[in-house]
Structure 1
Amino acid sequence: MTVAVVDMRSAEAEMAFVETLKRTGFAVLRNSPLDAQRMARMVDDWRDFFFGEEKWKHLAEETPSGNTSGYIPPDVSETAVGHDVKDLKEFFHIVPDTILPAGLASDAESHLIEAQALGRLLLGWLDIHCGSALSAGLRGELAESISPADSLLRVLHYPPLTGDEPPDAVRAAAHEDINLITLLPVSSEPGLQVLGRDGKWTDVPGLPGDVIVNSGDMLQEASGRQLPSTSHRVINPSDESSNLSRISMPYFIAPDLDIQLSEKHTAGSYLRERLDLLAR
């Protein structure tokens, strides 16, 4: 499977984005409105944060919306649905009113504003070109359905491997995202792969400054599977020369939880079903 690179300065960007999302569930945006210099600076600054001791002052707490806010260490990191071993990562969750480390706050808040605006633009394109495929509750309303309180910026750190990892542990086991769409600046190191319909894993392309976009389960549900939520993973470094720290900054865009995704599910009931699976 080939994930298309869409130049947002092109007159064909809108349709190219919609078509690759329909075909693969993924797209790579080039020349996006997200500030590439800021994103590069955030990678360096957050890497320093994860290697430092200040992170322990920001241990995560649950927010009123049910999200977590703050630092989640490796020993309580998540286990992907269908897997028995925790992923090899630590991360920091940013939602409205998260208390951020002082030196990281300004860039994170500015990035979040830009990411929300980009998400609204992309969902607007889907409103125009996929509106008839959407559930009645979301037809023509995707762009207006975004809930900042239920969306989440996750800054991920995949540490270098030590050789003491549990058998079969990987940086991020195969999974699908639960939300509408995810915006993911191309990472500082390779490793992200997507599963094709032929059952083969393919590296997701991209250059520094590019933004990867993928459909989530909620969008798949709301579109009657016409916008697929595609399984993806982050593989471990292949050799000593590539065994480097990896920073990733996905922004998971979610709708208001009372929105009807389909006859069977609201966004809230769909989320609770996934969380129940994670808890088993």
Structure 2
Amino acid sequence: MTVAVVDMFSAEAEMAFVETLRRTGFAVLRNPPLDARRMLKMADDWRDFFYGEEKWEYLAEETPSGNTSGYIPPDVSETAVGHDRKDLKEFFHIVPDTILPAALADDAEAHLGEVQVLGRLLLGWLDIHMGSALGPGLRGQLAESLSPADSLLRILHYPPLTGDEPPGAVRAAAHEDINLITLLPVSSEPGLQVLGRDGQWTDVPGIPGDIIVNSGDMLQEASRRQLPSTSHRVINPPDADSNLSRISMPYFLAPDLDIQLSPQHTAGSYLRERLDLLAR
């Protein structure tokens, strides 16, 4: 499967984005309206944070919306649905009112503002071109449905490999995202792969400054599967690069949890169903 690179300066960007998302569940945006230098600086600054001891002062707490806010260490990290090994990662969740390290706060908040604006723009494109595929709860309302309180900026750190990892453990096992769409700056380190309909895994293209966009389970549900939520993973680096860490900064855009995705589900009931699976 080939994930298309869409130049946002192109007059055809809008249609090209919608088409590649409809066809593959993924798109790569070149020249997005985001500060590329800031994103590179954030990756370096957060890598330093994860290597330091200050992170233990920000252990995660649950928010009223059900999100978590703060630092999640490797020993309580995620296990993907259908897998029995924890992913090899640690991360920091940023939602409204998250207490951030002072040295990281300004850049994180500025980036969060930019990805929210970009997310609304892209959801607006889907409103225009895929509106007829959406259920009545979201038809023409995707952009307006975005809920910053229920969305999440996750700063991920995949540490260097030590050789002591459990057999079969990987940086991020194959999974689908639960939300509407995810906006992910291209990492300086490779590893992200997407599963094609032919059963083959393919590297997702892109260069630093690009933004990878993928549709999530909520959008798939709301569009009656016309916008697929495609499996993806982050593989371990080859032995020659096992000493390299990897930073990833996805923003998961979610709607208000009362929104009706389909006759069967609100966004909230859909989220609870996924959390129940993760808890098993």
Under a length normalisation based on structure 1, what TM-score does the superposition of the two structures give? 0.99
Could you tell me which residue of structure 1 aligns to residue 235 of structure 2? 235
CA distance in 2, matches of 1:127, 1:111: 24
Residue 91 (1) aligns with residue 91 (2): yes
1:115 aligns with 2:120: no
The residue identity in structure 1 corresponding to 2:220 is: Q
Q: What is the percentage of aligned positions where both structures have the same residue?
A: 88
- Whole-Å separation in 2 of the counterparts to 1:276 and 1:241: 36
Q: Deviations over 1:169-218 (max 9, x none)?
A: 00000000000000000012000000000000000000010000000000
Q: Secondary structure, in 3 states, of the residue corresponding to 1:123?
A: helix
Gaps of 5+ in 2: none
Separation in 2, partners of 1:50, 1:34: 24
RMSD: 0.5
User: Contact 2:161–2:242 (CA<8 Å) still a contact in 1?
Assistant: no
CA distance in 2, matches of 1:241, 1:81: 28
TM-score, normalised with respect to structure 2: 0.99
Do the aligned residues in 1 keep the contact of 2:183 with 2:252 (CA within 8 Å)?
A: yes
SS of the equivalent of 2:110 reads: helix
SS of the residue corresponding to residue 50 of structure 2 reads helix
Aligned length: 280
CA distance in 2, matches of 1:101, 1:188: 23
Displacement of 1:242 after TM fit? 5.1
1:10 matched to which residue of 2?
Answer: 10
Q: By how many angstroms is 1:239 displaced? A: 1.9
SS in 1 for 2:144: coil
Residue identity in the other structure for 2:95: V
Kindly report which structure 2 residues correspond to 1:51-66, keeping only aligned pairs within 5 A, or say none. Answer: 51-66=51-66
Q: CA deviation at 1:156?
A: 0.1
Residue 135 of structure 1 corresponds to 135
C-alpha separation in 2, matches of 1:95 and 1:144: 18
> After superposition, where does 1:99-248 map in structure 2 within 5 Å?
99-241=99-241, 243-248=243-248
Q: 1:173 is paired with a residue of what secondary structure?
A: strand
Whole-angstrom CA distance in 2 between matches of 1:188 and 1:217: 27
Residue equivalent to 1:255: 255
Runs of 4+ that moved beyond 3 A: none
Q: Which amino acid letter does the alignment assign opposite residue 20 of structure 1?
A: T
| Structure 1 position 26 matched with structure 2 position 17 | no
CA distance in 1, matches of 2:239, 2:114: 36
CA distance in 1, matches of 2:223, 2:206: 27
Alpha-carbon spacing, 1:18–1:195, altered in 2? closer, same or farther (3 Å): same
Please list every run of 5 or more consecutive structure 1 residues that lacks an aligned counterpart in the other structure: none
> Cα distance, 1:245 vs. partner?
0.5
